[in-house]
Amino acid sequence: MANPNLGSFNRAGTISDQAAYDVGLRAHMLRVYNYMASGLALSGIVAYAVFASPEIASLFFKVEGGYVVGMNGLGWVAILAPLGLLLLVSFRAASMSVGAVQAVYWTVTALMGVSLSLLLFRYTGASVARTFFITAAAFGALSLYGYTTKRDLTAVGKFLFMGLIGLILASLVNMFFPSGPMSFIISVAGVLIFSGLIAYDTQKIKEQYAQAWGSDTAEKVAIFGALSLYLDFINLFQFLMMFLGQRR
């Protein structure tokens, strides 16, 4: 005859494990958002420092009358280096220590500040601030959806990735053969794609935590998740600036 208390013990253990998992997940997501917010703050500080200091700006750009008219060699390095670092991380993620991943994260977000300073040179401060808060509100709603939805967004993520590849190719073509209508289409597509990626990446971060739960890789997973959301936020912000930004 089965022991009736055994079933109760197993159920209690399961509930206890689930409660511990839920607490850990909330702490993990908070860590991700804290990393992301800190990265955005660092990017903002660097962007403002480059914009506000002619001496610093001259290291990266050729500025005339308050407008950027060209790039210096160091400027190209600062703008292209994040891509190289992201590629490095994508190939070496498993073998990198937590400290190395953190160093890459802070370096990428700092260098992104140099690129973002171009927005301050191009658009009014009021429109930049307004668009940032709109982006933050949209990000909060989309990330909340990705966190709470029961719908599996994997298929949506694959579609968005294909759209992202097309967006990159279209942007490259438009760079060499500028077209007003094409720029508008790219901007609309960029807003839609990165809005979707915010929800998808948030859900993916939850799944990655489930896989890493109980292991010593949770901190690295949090940093990678923050980097994904940071890039989604920055790209959404830049595309929204094309619609909402007021030029100087």
Per-residue pLDDT of the chain (248 residues; tens, 9 = 90+): 333 333 333 334 455 577 778 888 899 999 999 999 999 999 999 999 999 999 999 999 998 887 888 888 999 999 999 999 998 888 888 888 889 999 999 999 999 999 999 999 999 999 999 999 999 999 999 999 999 999 999 999 999 999 999 999 999 898 888 888 898 999 999 999 999 999 999 999 998 888 776 666 788 999 999 999 999 999 999 999 999 988 97
Write down the pLDDT at residue 6: 32
Residue 54 neighbours by CB under 8 Å, 6+ apart? 63
In this structure, the dihedral spanned by the alpha carbons of residues 113, 40, 235 and 238, taken in order and rounded to 10 degrees, is -60
Quick one: three-class SS letters along the chain? CCCHHHHHHHHHHHHHHHHHHHHHHHHHHHHHHHHHHHHHHHHHHHHHHHHHCHHHHHHHEEEECCEEEEECHHHHHHHHHHHHHHHHHHHHHHHCCHHHHHHHHHHHHHHHHHHHHHHHHHECHHHHHHHHHHHHHHHHHHHHHHHHCCCCCHHHHHHHHHHHHHHHHHHHHHHHCCCHHHHHHHHHHHHHHHHHHHHHHHHHHHHHHHHHCCCCCHHHHHHHHHHHHHHHHHHHHHHHHHHHCCEC
Instruction: Find the helix packing angle between 98-122 and 125-148, rounded to 10°.
Output: 140
The whole-angstrom separation of Cα 227 and Cα 107 is 11
Backbone dihedral region for residue 65 (phi beyond 0: left; psi -120 to 50: alpha; all else: beta): left
Query: Is-contact 32 226, C-beta < 8 A?
Result: yes
Write down the pLDDT at residue 218: 81
The whole-angstrom separation of Cα 120 and Cα 140 is 24
For 87-110, how does the pLDDT look when each residue is reduced to its tens digit (9 = 90+)? 888 888 888 888 999 999 999 999
Structural domain boundaries in the chain: 24-244
User: 152 φ, ψ to 5°?
Assistant: -75, 120
- Structure tokens, 73: 């060699």
pTM, entire model: 0.89
Q: Give the residue from 236, 222, 232 showing the smallest Cα distance to 105.
A: 222
Q: Give the residue from 140, 123, 116 showing the smallest Cα distance to 60.
A: 116
Query: Is-contact 50 74, C-beta < 8 A?
Result: no
